[in-house]
Structure 1
């Protein structure tokens, strides 16, 4: 049986294949690199006029420490909330063919996308570590649990209200 194809389950319940932690990490890494490159390009372009005047002013334009963290976290939060509430997947998840859905396999709403994106954008180490420590059969991070969302392989999406889960 292929890992891409859901195995038949007992009864009429569809089976959702949960995404691997490694696939989720690589999707996050792709998103992280793309957003960071875009942010750097935007801020470098905005600071360009200051480069010839006073380079230290250009560096202050981008910010440092907490300011940089807040700016990038807000951008990541908006990025993940938008993509996961409209398409069910960020660009990194599209590449790896995984998606965020509710526990029944349906697309997530904006509220759920925002809750689970908050953990990824602002508290990722805490979100992941506590998710691993208190893991369950649905491979949920802490904020996935709070939003009642899971991450599945894209080919296994279902809209049936009654669902079983299988780890990839």
Structure 2
């Protein structure tokens, strides 16, 4: 089986498609509600709506289920370092860089440089992604 790091990347790509599907549904419903001629009025709101959907998706699922859809499919789970479920604060802080793809690269790179273990926010929140297949 692939390493946990590789599966985390695959899980993130899967989650990207899941969130994209949610945004497609929302934009479709909005276009029906607003009509095609008024949709351009609502389109700029997606710069605010998209990050909110992303944050809600990752925060809610990691807090309540311990994993997102992608992590579940890759048999990964997020837990506190003490082995318990993560708190709401841990879920919020660890997912702040997932608003856009660019900050998560810095989060990972800085975490590797400083701690040689995990993402910087994972270290800061004392959370870890564990393998469920052991």
Deviation at 1:135, TM superposition (A): 4.0
Query: 59, 65, 78: which one pairs with 2:40?
Result: 59
Please give the root-mean-square deviation of Cα atoms over the aligned residues, in Å. Answer: 2.1
2:133 counterpart SS class: helix
Per the TM alignment, residue 30 of structure 1 is displaced from its structure 2 partner at its CA by 0.6
Q: 1:71 to 1:126 in 2, by over 3 A?
A: farther
Specify the SS of the correspondent of 2:7.
helix
Q: How does 1:23-102 map to 2 (within 5 A)?
A: 23-48=7-32, 49-51=34-36, 54=37, 57-63=38-44, 67-102=45-80
Offset, 1:94: 0.5
Is 1:152 aligned with 2:130? Answer: yes
* 1:126–1:69 Cα change, 3 Å: farther
- TM-score, normalised via structure 1 length: 0.69
Query: Matches of residues 121-160 of structure 1 in structure 2 within 5 Å?
Result: 121-122=99-100, 123-136=103-116, 139-156=117-134
Give the TM-score normalised by structure 2: 0.84
Of Structure 1 and Structure 2, which has the larger fraction of its residues in helix? 2
* 8 A Cα contact 1:120 1:127, kept in partner: no
Structure 1 window deviating more from structure 2 (27-36 vs 127-136): it is 127-136
Report the Cα offset of residue 148 of structure 1: 0.6
2:84 alignment partner in structure 1: 106
Structure 1 runs (4+) deviating above 4 angstroms are none
Structure possessing the higher relative contact order (Cα contacts under 8 Å, 6 or more residues apart): 1
